[in-house]
Every structure is written in C-alpha cells, then in structure tokens.
Structure 1
Amino acid sequence: MTADPLEHLDFTLTCDLTEDGVGCERPARWIADIHMHTDLMPRVAICDHHADAHRQMQQRLQPILQESRCPVCQQVMMPNDYIRNQEPL
C-alpha cells in the first residue's frame, strides 16, 4: 500500500461529447461553449479532436452576407456560433 490513498484513482477529464452514441474517451484539453444543434450552447470540456471539428464547421460558413446554416441541424449560423469562449483546462 502506498502513502497516497488516492493514487489509484484517475482524475483526468475526458471529453463531454459523443461519437455515434458512445462517449468520447479522449482527454479534455479545453472548456468552451459549443453549438449542440439545439437552441442551447452548453459549456463543456472538449478534446482537441472535437474542438478542431467545431472550428472546421465554423470555417465552412459562407460569407456573412449570405444565409449560412449548420449542415447537421440547419439552424442559421453566424461566425463564432459553433464554438465560443474556448479556454485551456
């Protein structure tokens, strides 16, 4: 037995998002408000993979003069509507 009774516990944060209905197992590196294809933008812990995916969706938006929609939920989107307030954990 070691001197630290918590040594065997893993306190690593994992990504709060899912892929194909299965929770993401990647380590979370960021906390951000993200577009969840509803009217909500929850503040969640996300991994590099999902942060990059949200940034890529944001980059695909057409110029602001045209109506741009989320390819998944079809909501009208503006720049910075996919990921906001991203901070490192």
Structure 2
Amino acid sequence: MQILAKFVVFRYDKAIKTNFERQVIHLIEVKRKGNERFESLLRRFNREIQQSGILTIAKKNRYFEKEPNRGERRISAMRKTERRRIKQGY
C-alpha cells in the first residue's frame, strides 16, 4: 500500500491587527512545478516567506508591548547607532 500526497499550493496570509480589524496585506503562493519534490517546494516556500519579511513582522508582534517600552527601545536604538557613528569616526 502506497500513500500519495500532492501539495499543489501553499498559502500564507500576512495579516496585521489594527484597531481590532484584520487586514490582509500580502499573499504568498507557491505552485508545484511538474515533478517537483515536496522538499524543494517547501524550500521555495520558506525562501519566499523569508524574503517577504513576514517572519520579522510576526516575531515583532508576537507579544504585546506597551507604548513607553516601544519608545524606550527606539531611543536605545538611536543611542546605539550614534555610538557606532562616533566609534567609526563619522
């Protein structure tokens, strides 16, 4: 007995919550080419996901962060870039 599975299309809706609404921003679709193996199809899908930046957005929005914390993080990032500039002599 042999079990065959065909995965024709993978889809991932990149959605961001804004004001309790979900907005679909980007749709990634990878279609199977001829006799393409599942591993290569999955590899192409993962590459598309990484290039689109979906993972970085998902990781950023994984946990709720209060507004003061976001401001502190932004200020610390600015300080860090300023230190780099000074260190490099710009």
TM-score, normalised relative to structure 1: 0.31
Larger Rg: 2
Q: Which structure carries more helix by proportion? A: 2
TM-score, normalised relative to structure 2: 0.30
